[in-house]
Amino acid sequence: MATSAIKFFPIILLIILSLPAAMEGCGITVYWGQNGFEGDLTEACDTGFYSHVNIAFLNVFGMGQTPSYNLAGHCLPSPCNVFSPQIDYCQRQGVKVLLSIGGAIGSYGLSDADDARRVAQYIYDNFLGGSAPDRPLGDAVLDGVDFDIESGDAYYEDLALALASYSTPARKVYLAAAPQPIYPDAYLGKAIKTEAFSYIGVQFYNNPSYDYSGGKEALMAAWNKWSSSIPANATLLLGLPASSGAAGSGYIPPENLTSDILPEVKKSSNYGGVMLWSRYEDKDNGYSQKIHPYVCPAAAATKPIGNILDAAAAAAAV
């Protein structure tokens, strides 16, 4: 027994060393915040379906404006800082909580690199590890920032690099991008090239030539283009509507997703899971409930390196 464990140990080490070092696991990311009837964050995180929640949106920023956010009916009449303990709760369950900036409705854009750095400072002070009076979501420290940018096209690379620079060894500032399905993205193309993003969740919807409404081939062609183009240390997420009503096109019925699409996208080495718009439709349609057992390949489940190390340690200890 001991001899065979010693013989296999180098093989296990080889497996560990060949895992991409900076790539971030696999899971389901869900957008939360744009529908007052979707339940709160504690309820979302208690489902156990999600690895990430993006709180949407900080939808006014840059161009010298006072930043402001919109969480639909969630914080009426109580202030949004009621969500602070819920964010802490989600994080204790292992769910990363990000602030999503941008969205389809709002007023945002960056006038120059200094403007980008000022917005980064504002976000750091008000939502991340910095400090400010009256932080909108209270004292909870979010895990990072999701860029759902649908207007303006300049200086987002400066914003990304400025936000990433707030990372410390103790607390990484995670960046996610949610580009449209045409590569390269008109708004985020340059920002993605900075390599500052851990997650690229492409919105494979509202664009039938690049989503499932145009057929599996259209979707897979778009997916493969992204998969072969993004920086080596980013993971790629399949962004989908969580119900047929959640977007104009691109909905994939759960059975079709699990039997036909997930087996294909999982072949990409940078596959990192599924991103859903949004929690309201997901809850209503039971989408994550149906798909979550199929989203992550067993080998890429959360904390793969720890598990393999534990196995190696157990084998070596025999």
Ligand X SMILES: *[C@@H]1O[C@H](CO)[C@@H](O)[C@H](O)[C@H]1NC(C)=O
Q: What amino acid positions are annotated as catalytic residues? A: 150
Q: Which is nearer to ligand X, 103 or 144 (CB)?
A: 144
- For residue 22, the minimal CB distance to ligand X (Å) is 4
Q: How many CB atoms lie within 10 A of CB 310?
A: 11
Residues numbered 20-59 forming contacts with ligand X, rule: CB under 6 A: 22
Residue 230 zone, left/alpha/beta (φ > 0; ψ -120 to 50; rest): beta
For residues 75 and 169, what is the distance between their CA atoms, to the nearest angstrom? 33
- For residue 71, the minimal CB distance to ligand X (Å) is 27
Q: Which is nearer to ligand X, 23 or 45 (CB)?
A: 23
- For residue 249, the minimal CB distance to ligand X (Å) is 11
Residues numbered 184-203 forming contacts with ligand X, rule: CB under 6 A: 195-198
Is residue 276 classed exposed, middle or buried when 0-12, 13-18 and 19+ CB atoms within 10 A define those classes?
A: buried
Residues 200 and 164 sit within 8 Å (Cβ to Cβ): no
Taking only Cα atoms into account, the Rg of the chain, rounded to an integer number of angstroms, comes to 20
Q: Which is nearer to ligand X, 81 or 249 (CB)?
A: 249
**What φ, ψ does residue 83 adopt, rounded to 5°?**
-85, -5
Q: Are strands 68-69 and 52-61 parallel, antiparallel or unpaired?
A: antiparallel
**What φ, ψ does residue 315 adopt, rounded to 5°?**
-65, -45
For residues 121 and 128, what is the distance between their CA atoms, to the nearest angstrom? 10
- For residue 234, the minimal CB distance to ligand X (Å) is 7
Selected from 42, 206, 233, 268, the binder of ligand X by CB under 6 A is 233
Q: Which is nearer to ligand X, 35 or 235 (CB)?
A: 235
- For residue 144, the minimal CB distance to ligand X (Å) is 10
Of the candidates 216, 183, 173, 175, the one whose C-alpha atom is nearest the C-alpha of residue 199 is: 175
Q: Is 256 in the site for ligand X (CB under 6 A)?
A: yes
Residues numbered 65-94 forming contacts with ligand X, rule: CB under 6 A: none
For residues 307 and 300, what is the distance between their CA atoms, to the nearest angstrom? 11
Total chain residues near ligand X (CB under 6 A): 8
- For residue 21, the minimal CB distance to ligand X (Å) is 9
Q: Which is nearer to ligand X, 216 or 303 (CB)?
A: 216
Q: How many CB atoms lie within 10 A of CB 228?
A: 11
SS3 27: strand
**What φ, ψ does residue 168 adopt, rounded to 5°?**
-125, 165
Q: Which is nearer to ligand X, 43 or 260 (CB)?
A: 260
For residues 91 and 142, what is the distance between their CA atoms, to the nearest angstrom? 9
To which residue do tokens 């207007």 refer?
151
Q: Which is nearer to ligand X, 85 or 253 (CB)?
A: 253
For residues 113 and 230, what is the distance between their CA atoms, to the nearest angstrom? 23
- For residue 255, the minimal CB distance to ligand X (Å) is 6
Contacts with ligand X, residue ranges (CB under 6 A): 22, 195-198, 233, 253, 256
